[in-house]
Amino acid sequence: MPLESAAPPVNPRPEPSRRFSVAPMMDWTDRHCRYFLRLLSRNALLYTEMVTTGALLHGDAERFLRHDEAEYPLALQLGGSVPADLAACAKLAQDAGYDEVNLNVGCPSDRVQNNMIGACLMGHPALVGDCVKAMQDAVQIPVTVKHRIGINGRDSYAELCDFVGQVRDAGCRSFTVHARIAILEGLSPKENREIPPLRYDVAAQLKADFPELEIILNGGIKTLAECQAHLQTFDGVMLGREAYHNPYVLAEVDQQLFGSQASVISRSEALAQLRPYIAAHLASGGAMHHVTRHILGLGQGFPGARKFRQLLSVDIHKSKDPLALLDQAGALLQGR
Ligand SMILES: Cc1cc2nc3c(=O)[nH]c(=O)nc-3n(C[C@H](O)[C@H](O)[C@H](O)COP(=O)(O)O)c2cc1C
């Protein structure tokens, strides 16, 4: 009698590596941006923009979860603090094919604080633990937390350890640490990414004190050489603004950080590979700038770079033939 085959695992893809990731960024890391970034690196783990539980449960869930399979490995970031809601959203994420679900405990905006979302949750470690536990009970994919090293009024190292310890006890194994505190009153989200000083030493101490946990470093990292150096201490690195403003930094991630032998993609090849995606987006009624606004950062550091950006950010709004304009921009990337 043939042996009964085991039930297929819920998520047959291997757990993605968090050795290198691109940060969740509202309005920036949308599905078009992620599709483009994936062309530059196969291995980078990509995060969505934060989606609140309210938006997913009471809004157009399909729109918020939409992605292309080419984007994998892909993590959905959630904002919320009601365990049952987060659990329901984690399930939606798993069912939609995401590789990981991440809880935002780092966003300092007033708007989210009023709803108990983001960095203010660092003051409520037991609640974050309850959230993580509820999410983990609902899904098989990893549940991770992205947080700061503190918030004003709760910024001692002991309090950081208390937070991480309680969330670990609830079952979380991977923490992405934006290595600065958030100041919850008086600073804009942008200022909160610039003014509180970066404290890699505090994040490193956390790794030393919680060696069993996966600790990913985030904040202010710009080059792959810096990534290599941080990977001596940390399990992974996450890049935000640099990956967006200078996306070509991703082009050697696979070779330098994952040991890939594949040849490094050129800017011009990346654009050529993006062209069919843009054509399909146009054919479905979309506008080219939805996609190309994310690739302006490819245009820097070579003659014609300014023209490249101008074509895709200014001329694009006047053009009747967007693909011809794209080809004109592509010509400026020849040999780059
Ligand atoms: C435009 C923008 C939007 C952001 N949105 C989010 C978000 O939705 N969720 C989140 O956890 N962090 C968000 N962040 C913070 C980044 O994920 C990251 O922690 C921060 O930019 C520090 O990393 P970096 O110095 O590499 O940019 C955002 C940052 C930027 C610039």
Integer Cα distance of 303 and 330 in angstroms: 13
**DSSP single-letter state for residue 42:** S
Residue with CA closest to ligand 1 atom 28: 25
Known catalytic residue: 227? no
Residues of the chain with pLDDT under 50: 1-12
* Separation of alpha carbons 171 and 132, rounded Å: 7
CA of 24 from ligand 1 middle (Å) equals 6
Tokens representing 138 are: 């609902």
Strand partners, 175: 145, 215
Are the CB atoms for 79 and 52 separated by under 8 Å? yes
Cα–Cα distance measured from residue 114 to residue 8, given in angstroms and rounded to the nearest whole number: 42
**Cα dihedral sign for 149, 153, 157, 158?**
negative
Return the ligand 1 atom nearest residue 118 CA.
Answer: 11
- Please identify which of the residues 33, 107, 172, 227 carries the catalytic annotation: 107
Rg (CA), the chain: 20
Token digits of residue 53: 């539980």
Distance 293 CA to ligand 1 centre (A): 18
Residue 332: alpha-carbon gap to chain centroid: 29
Packing angle of the helix pair 322-331, 267-283 (nearest 10 deg): 180
Instruction: Give distance in angstroms: CA of 29 to centre of ligand 1.
Output: 10
DSSP 19: S
pLDDT reported for residue 15: 61
Separation of alpha carbons 266 and 272, rounded Å: 10
With H, G, I as helix, E, B as strand and everything else as coil, classify residue 164: helix
Q: Are 250 and 41 in contact (CB under 8 A)?
A: yes
CA distance 307 to 300: 10
Which pLDDT does position 103 carry in this prediction? 98
276 burial via Cβ count (<10 Å: 0-12, 13-18, 19+): exposed
List all residues 6 or more positions away from 322 whose beta carbon is below 8 Å from its beta carbon. Answer: 278, 282, 287, 288, 316
Q: Which run of H or of E encompasses 178?
A: strand 174-178
| pTM of this prediction exceeds 0.75 | yes
The pocket around ligand 1, CB under 6 angstroms, is made up of: 23-28, 49-50, 77, 104, 106-107, 146, 178, 193, 218-221, 239-242
Residue 50 alpha carbon, nearest atom of ligand 1: 8
